[in-house]
Homo-oligomer: A and B are copies of this chain.
Amino acid sequence: MIVKKVQPRILPGFMELMPADQIEFNRLRDIIRGTFELFGFAPMDTPIIEKSEILLAKAGGETEKQIYRFKKGDNDLALRFDLTVPLARFVAQNYNSLAFPFKRYQIGKVFRGERAQKGRFREFYQCDIDVIGDGELSLLNDAEIPAVIYTVFKNLNLGEFIIKINNRKILNGYFAALGIADKSTDILRILDKFPKINRDTILEELLSFTDNKTAGKILEFIDIKGDNEAMLAILKNLAVNEIFNNGVQELEQVVQNVKKFKVPDENIAIDLTIARGFDYYTGTIYETFLKNYPEIGSICSGGRFDNLAEYYTDKKLPGVGASIGLTRLFYQLKKAGLIKGERKSLSKILIVPLMEDLTVPLQVAAQLRENSIAVEIYFGTDIKLKKKFSYADKMKIPYVAVIGEEEIDKGMITLKEMATGKQELIQIEELANKFK
């Protein structure tokens, strides 16, 4: 049968990794998941397809342009574009059967039909944690989120990083004092472009909303620098207005508590340029940066919101959370050479039988697997030994166990360490112990 061929390829803006990179990707994802679980966050997994009316309850903006929306039968469907909207829907829907504070994590793919460009993806993993309160939520949660972020990035071992923290009330209070409270959202969106966009461009953009003097005041304000204590002292001294002071008080409490969560001082810094683009944040806001790779931009962001699910319920559900865009992060880490992706196999040992009767080799494999050691067998006695070793080499399988008639008679196997080339004869029973 002759079949017409379709050229095998994927769509632009979609990430598909080769096994070696996928192994690394999964390693990072497992560390993130494990850390979330250590902090008592429960897993959640919402559908990828939801009703359009749910996902677009808050209409307008980029979302509507980017969302993948389609009909199937009479249903108006869409693919989730983040994990926050599904969380809001979930909590509203299951309000009566949840225990609050509700702590959940979700790691899953989300979809945005953005303009294709390097390093931007249309399908990407988000790793989210959120704590949702019923009516109210202790500010201690705002301090626990940076503790989780800190532990995640410490465990990921990607080098020095810093969690930058701010509070929306400080910014909003300051803007109110300048008489531009009504332009808050626009100004925040501009500030959010820091540090990707330079000061001059920021100034230019500010001038389309405010006069020269006000823009100057804004830049002067976000230029305030210093360690956390100094920053808090300056902010307290400014005492702009009630909402501002309220924000400063919250920020002080959060920063003090973050310390008690054992986050070292050098990993958390008050930074007034941190604004976050989304308008649902109402208090604490975070961004995280790798110190040696500022060009990567924020690798984990989040904040406090007063009312998670207002489009689905009358209940007031305040929350605080953070999100890691893992696909983009992985892409950037790979580009920066921070991730190599060399192991093409998870196998610790390649078993190479030299005889037809596989009874003993398969017994050895079963025994190793019972001891949680990942093992692969190279089938085919007609294939040259050299080819089998080169397979192990190519796949970066660290050990090859050669099993021949002669060895079996003595209850032994030959174990070769691929990195050193070192060979040893080893008792079959001893093999599992060696790798445990």
A233-241, A242-250, A375-383, A413-421: which lies at the interface: A375-383
Q: Is the CB of B375 within 8 A of A111?
A: no
A197 interface contact, C-beta 8 A: no
- In the assembled complex, which residues on chain B have CB atoms less than 8 Å from the CB atom of A50? 10-11
Task: Mark contacts of A380-393 with chain B using CB atoms, 8 A cut-off: 1 yes-contact digit, 0 otherwise.
Answer: 10000000000100
A201 interface contact, C-beta 8 A: no
A212 interface contact, C-beta 8 A: no
Give the docked Cα–Cα distance between A220 and B79 (Å): 50
Tell me the smallest distance from the CB of A197 to a CB of chain B, in Å: 27
A395 interface contact, C-beta 8 A: yes
A223 interface contact, C-beta 8 A: no
Q: Which among B57, B73, B77, B103 is the interface contact of A6 at CB below 8 angstroms?
A: B57
A312 interface contact, C-beta 8 A: yes
Task: Mark contacts of A38-50 with chain B using CB atoms, 8 A cut-off: 1 yes-contact digit, 0 otherwise.
Answer: 1111111111111
Chain copies in complex: 2
In chain A, positions 17-56 with a C-beta closer than 8 Å to chain B are 17-19, 22-23, 25-26, 37-51, 53-54
Q: Is the CB of A260 within 8 A of B42?
A: no
With A5-B313, A94-B18: A40-B375 Cβ-Cβ less than 8 Å: yes
Q: Is the CB of A38 within 8 A of B344?
A: no
Q: Which residue of B lies closest to A92 (CB)?
A: B8
Give the docked Cα–Cα distance between A366 and B394 (Å): 41
Tell me the smallest distance from the CB of A6 to a CB of chain B, in Å: 4
- In the assembled complex, which residues on chain B have CB atoms less than 8 Å from the CB atom of A103? 376
With A19-B44, A363-B262, A379-B140: A38-B372 Cβ-Cβ less than 8 Å: yes
Q: Is the CB of A99 within 8 A of B391?
A: yes
Give the docked Cα–Cα distance between A3 and B310 (Å): 7
A345 interface contact, C-beta 8 A: yes
Q: Is the CB of B376 within 8 A of A18?
A: no
With A70-B68, A262-B366: A3-B311 Cβ-Cβ less than 8 Å: yes
Q: Is the CB of A42 within 8 A of B346?
A: yes
Q: Is the CB of B358 within 8 A of A140?
A: yes
Give the docked Cα–Cα distance between A257 and B357 (Å): 9
- In the assembled complex, which residues on chain B have CB atoms less than 8 Å from the CB atom of A221? none
Tell me the smallest distance from the CB of A9 to a CB of chain B, in Å: 6
- In the assembled complex, which residues on chain B have CB atoms less than 8 Å from the CB atom of A57? 6
Task: Mark contacts of A331-367 with chain B using CB atoms, 8 A cut-off: 1 yes-contact digit, 0 otherwise.
Answer: 0000000000000111100000000001100110010
With A312-B8, A391-B99: A16-B45 Cβ-Cβ less than 8 Å: yes
Q: Which among B22, B51, B374 is the interface contact of A9 at CB below 8 angstroms?
A: B51
Q: Which among B7, B90, B257 is the interface contact of A16 at CB below 8 angstroms?
A: B90
A113 interface contact, C-beta 8 A: yes
Tell me the smallest distance from the CB of A361 to a CB of chain B, in Å: 9
A169 interface contact, C-beta 8 A: no
- In the assembled complex, which residues on chain B have CB atoms less than 8 Å from the CB atom of A311? 3-6
Instruction: A10-B93, A11-B50, A39-B375 given; name 13 further pairs at CB < 8 Å.
Output: A6-B53, A6-B311, A9-B54, A9-B89, A11-B75, A16-B46, A38-B372, A39-B374, A40-B374, A101-B379, A103-B376, A144-B377, A260-B362
